[in-house]
Chain A
Amino acid sequence: MNATTIRAVIGTLLLLAAFCAAGDPQTRPSAANEEKEIKSLIAQFSSDDPQIRGHAQKVLIQIGVAAKPFLEAALRSDDPDVATRAELTLQMIDDPTSPTYVSVDVKDTAASVVIHSLEAQAHEPLLVYQQSAQQRIAATKLTIHAIHEPFWAVLLQVCEAVDLRPDCYMPERGGWSLREDAGTWDDRNTTIRGPFAVHVASISRQAQRNFANPARRNFERTTIGAFCHAEKKTHAQAIQNLRVTRCEDENGKPIGAFGRIGLNSFSFQGYATFDITLNSASAKKISLLEGDVEFVLEAGREHIEVNDLLHAANVQRTPGPIRLAVRDCRSTADKRWAVRITVHRDGRDQPAWASLLNQLRNSPPRVEDSQGRPLMNWGETSSKPDGETTEIEYFYGNFVNYGRGIPTDPVKLIWDVPTRTQSVSVPFHFVEIPIP
């Protein structure tokens, strides 16, 4: 067990200890009160007043997951209006483009307890590996009053109070890491829209000068880096576009021209960079920056599994409209494997074919050892997508310990194959971004 692992274990124990010491956390309105409120709201579905029905539905959507058992019961109501509206409300709670609403109503309560409650309500594990961040959580007490507010907004309130920032999604651990890094997100540079959050993390200025020949290889570039987060319920798999519509100085004048855009996507998270060629080298800030980011969400999935993976040979599967075969899983080097998947085009036109391959590349299968421990996925390649089939090769390694020991050889492939996708455009608005 190395020092990092020991620290992580100690941190987890500290959090658990704090949680246990705090006893039963009263971080939300009492269950009895909430149940009473939900039942009352559902009863309002039979009201003759459409405004009352609409308001009840809106509040229930905000209550979210906690309201689901009561709404499911209401599906069996004798009143068809109640049943229909309950069904509609359930659909909207599960809508990937609506946020998860959570409630935190605490006074002088241990931060670890609040974080634990937030995780439980949103089904979004929050992971803290930095020892200093763990200590800060253990030492902080929070007073927060947030009732039925979107997950990201409440998480930011918690992070601001503890001075941490949501960092990145860790797919193999299934949660978000919180860490210390220049303090928490600055709300001037964070936009929350439903289950999405876009945050400007950095602005950099780079310059290169060639001493011997100033005319060659010289450049000057200003780059903004933005994290684009999506709640897990959205099944976001990528960001595929970013557009800037306004970038102005304090007088409302355009401050520069946009150049290269770089997009890196991971599960539930993307990192976008975009360059600005500033009109003036002496510009000190961007007063207003607006635009939008396009997220790609998985709108349909089918589950497949392949056992005895190392001996798999052209194992055929047909998740939804997709015909594919797990060709093999071969060792490429010490502690490294490649899983080859053959995908059939089946008459798709070129745009649909390219789109299908993109969606498969963005959602790699999970590969586990015999004890269910995931191997790390570290990339993929694919052959040219112009034939009747294409081969995608996903790469895995068993050199990372995700908390349950380092996995052994791959044994099982588990894949929620994305069968359909949809795009969602998320606008952002930032002000007062300093320029170095």
Chain B
Amino acid sequence: MRLHWLSITLIACGPMLFAADVSNPPSTAPAVSVKLPLPLISLHLKDAPVRQAFERFAEQDRAILQIDPAGADDFWARHKNQRVTVDIDQLPYWQALHELCVASGVTTDDSAPGVLSVRDAGAVKDKPLQLIHGLLHMDASGVQEASVILLGSHPRTNRSCHIWFEVNAAPGLAALRCDALDLLEVTDPDGKPIELARKWQPVFPFSQNRWQLQLDLSPSPDTRAIGKIKGVLSIALAGTSSAVEVDNILKADKVERQLGSLHFVVTTKPAEGGCDVQVVYRDDRNDEALWQKSRRDVASTRPKLFDAQGREFMWAGGSGHGMGGFALYADHRFRRLARKGAKDLPGEPARFVWEIATAGRTIKLPFEFKDLPLH
């Protein structure tokens, strides 16, 4: 079995790698070639134990293999007699993983970055509402509906319907954010259009390389299913990146950093089990269009906090608000919690790192889902 780590230019290889197109960069984006190490998976196994198959896959993915739910120690024992035969040759991540799952009867579940989490296929058997586009994977996850009667002398009934999708990018693909969702068609089973309740808003990191997208629809009271939902998703990939780094973070009091046109001021407030890092950043160019782009780039990644041994704190939430003009305030809370797959807890906060990437190329992911049931 061979490991294929290719340093590729997405623009050059895009049409080969993706079912979707790769668009030209937006005019405001810097013209850079994005070179990324993308894993192409090869797995040639005949009657191999299931465990071995996933271990080999995880090696190539450079991921920790774990069982979900944690503690299901009898998982591999239950699959001891199960054998896998696959002939996967240099396939993009999601296609390779899908083939392995189909062949093994074991499936993967929501995993943290760097973790490949497997579970019985019985629990999530037969995901019919998914799209696999090479290095991107999109699921129609579920729907939440609410009908509300506002009582009064003129009672009024409102029905809302939130459909959410999950988009996963393969590890190694430097996906930055979902920039746009162009909805081409939403209809009921009879082909009648269903209105959007509100305009879709760009989504910033849900977690690394994974997003949850929500569409808010206004179906009529008697609509029992979405017949078809079709559109194109735009995923921005990271171009160049640079980092705001502050050592001795516990003592940071209005520490200033400059990244290109962006000026950062970092202040730390100690908190139980970690610290809160307050960051004010402003764009010195005083140009509205450039500011809108740079604030989206900044919001597309989360800062990280490490102890002196490089152990990472859990990002426990954040908030922010505008400060007028071309400045924003952001408050990031870090707490000493065990990350999934981590061996021990971090010690004292030591180093703050905020890797900020500029959006480079955009991948277009066309999608179409049919027959999503409503209540």
Q: Which residues of A contact B (CB under 8 A)?
A: 160, 163, 165, 181-186, 189, 200-213, 215-217, 220, 332-334, 433-436
Contact = CB atoms under 8 A, between A and B. Distances in A.
A339 B42 CA distance: 61
Contact of A202 (B127, B141, B151, B321): B151
A184 B152 contact: yes
Interface string B107-137: 0000000000000000110010110000000
30 contacts: A163-B153, A181-B150, A182-B150, A182-B152, A183-B152, A183-B155, A185-B152, A201-B150, A201-B151, A203-B148, A203-B149, A205-B147, A207-B145, A207-B146, A208-B142, A208-B143, A208-B145, A209-B373, A210-B141, A210-B142, A211-B141, A211-B142, A212-B140, A212-B142, A217-B142, A220-B375, A333-B331, A334-B280, A433-B151, A436-B149
A189 B151 contact: yes
A201 B331 CA distance: 36
Interface string B266-297: 00010000000010100000000000000000
Contacts of B123: 213, 215-216
B152 A434 contact: no
B154 interface: yes
Interface string B309-344: 000000000000101000001010000000000000
Contacts of B220: none
A182 B154 contact: yes
Interface residues of B, number: 36
Interface of B: 123-124, 127, 129-130, 139-157, 159, 269, 278, 280, 321, 323, 329, 331, 372-375
Nearest to B375: A207
A211 B140 contact: yes
B366 to A, nearest CB: 20
B273 to A, nearest CB: 14
B149 A202 contact: yes
Contacts of B331: 333
A286 to B, nearest CB: 11
Nearest to B163: A211
A165 B149 contact: no
Contacts of A206: 144-146
A391 to B, nearest CB: 13
Contacts of A181: 150, 152
A342 to B, nearest CB: 18
B142 A436 contact: no
Interface centre among B149, B154, B159 (most CB of A within 10 A): B149
| 10 cross-chain pairs, A with B, having the tightest CB-CB distances, nearest first | A183-B153, A183-B154, A436-B147, A182-B152, A182-B150, A204-B148, A183-B152, A210-B142, A207-B375, A208-B144
B284 to A, nearest CB: 19
Interface centre among A182, A209, A212 (most CB of B within 10 A): A212
A189 B149 CA distance: 13
Given A210-B141, A211-B140, A211-B141, A334 B150 contact: no
A70 to B, nearest CB: 39
Nearest to B147: A436
Interface centre among B148, B152, B153, B278 (most CB of A within 10 A): B152
A182 B323 CA distance: 37
B155 A160 contact: no
A96 to B, nearest CB: 28
B369 to A, nearest CB: 9
Contact of A212 (B139, B373, B374): B139
Contacts of A333: 278, 329, 331
A189 B123 CA distance: 45
A204 B329 contact: no
Contacts of B143: 208-209, 211
B146 A205 contact: yes
Contact of B151 (A160, A186, A211): A186
Given A185-B153, A212-B141, 13 more contacts: A182-B150, A182-B155, A182-B156, A183-B155, A184-B152, A204-B146, A205-B148, A209-B144, A211-B372, A212-B130, A333-B331, A334-B329, A436-B147
Given A333-B278, A333-B329, A434-B155, A202 B142 contact: no
A41 to B, nearest CB: 37
Nearest to A434: B149
Contacts of A200: 151
Contacts of A215: 123
Contacts of B129: 211-212
Contact of A209 (B142, B148, B154): B142
Nearest to B280: A334
Given A213-B124, A333-B329, A207 B144 contact: yes
A204 B149 contact: yes
Contacts of B124: 212-213
Contacts of B140: 211-212
Interface centre among A204, A220, A333, A433 (most CB of B within 10 A): A333
A203 B151 contact: yes
Contacts of B375: 207, 209, 220
Contacts of A160: 153
Contact of A184 (B148, B153, B374): B153
A204 B147 contact: yes
Contacts of A189: 151
A163 B153 CA distance: 8
A202 B150 CA distance: 5
A97 B81 CA distance: 74
